[in-house]
Chains A and B, each alone.
Chain A
Amino acid sequence: MFNKLKEAFGLGSKKNVILAPVEGEVCPLSEVSDPTFATGILGKGVAIRPNRGRVVAPANGVVTIMFDTKHAVTITTDTGAEILIHIGLDTVNLKGEHFKSYVKADDRVKAGDLLVEFDIPKIKEAGYEVITPVVICNSDNFPELQTITGKAVKELDEIINI
């Protein structure tokens, strides 16, 4: 009965939704100029052209990796999706500069918790693209994965259904 009610309100079916970790323009992964992302080697997903330098948790889960360089973070969601959020391209070379992290590996997070802040103008000034791939690394486990692209999103708008 309770489950039926939850479903009726769309709550039951929402548990496998990945929300936008960054505010910006969502585009297909294939538009990313780095082939590692564009060809889906790292998994299926989307890319966001950010217009705000904040990354929040895209679902409830646990931080699995916070890179020392803070340019990338992975979350394993409570539903088993392994999400990589990679801020910018080749930004590993910045060695943490212009990034600030708010969580560490093994931290439990709720959708919307702040993970990383990054300085868009400074990163661009340093010569790097800020486009941010959001990839489900174990997307093979989710054959029905669907992405929602070609639109502007705020933090926590839906971007991927798994």
Chain B
Amino acid sequence: MREIKYVIKDEMGIHARPAGLLIKEAGKFTCTINIKKDTKEVDAKRIIGVMGLGVKQGEEITVIFNGPDEEEAAKTVAEFLKSNL
């Protein structure tokens, strides 16, 4: 298992567009990827779940990777977050 934490910098939080791009990135990997905010945890490959977290600017998310390609997935998602959110 791998875990990364990230504080959202985008003024609008995780809205439809970044959520869509994020699930596209997540979908490239076979490992499970979950996003957690506070006590709520959702599948990063499901758009409704990701948007439904309602993550706002300044809030921290934890992304949890579990599976054979978790290392690479964690790297890719970390880079995605940094450049998009």
**Contacts from A to B (Cβ < 8 Å):** 34, 36, 41-43, 64-65, 67-69, 72, 74, 76, 82, 84, 86, 92-93, 137-138
Contacts and interface: CB of A to CB of B under 8 A. Distances in A.
A41 B23 contact: yes
Interface of B: 12, 15-17, 19-21, 23-24, 46-48, 51-52, 54
A60 B51 CA distance: 21
Chain A binding surface SS class: mixed
Chain B binding surface SS class: helix
A93 B15 CA distance: 10
Given A41-B24, A72-B15, A93-B12, 4 more contacts: A41-B20, A42-B16, A92-B15, A92-B16
Contacts of A67: 15, 51, 54
A47 to B, nearest CB: 13
A66 to B, nearest CB: 10
A93 to B, nearest CB: 7
Given A41-B23, A42-B20, A68-B54, A76 B48 contact: yes
B49 to A, nearest CB: 9
Which of A34, A67, A68, A137 is most buried by chain B, counting CB atoms within 10 A of its CB?
Answer: A137
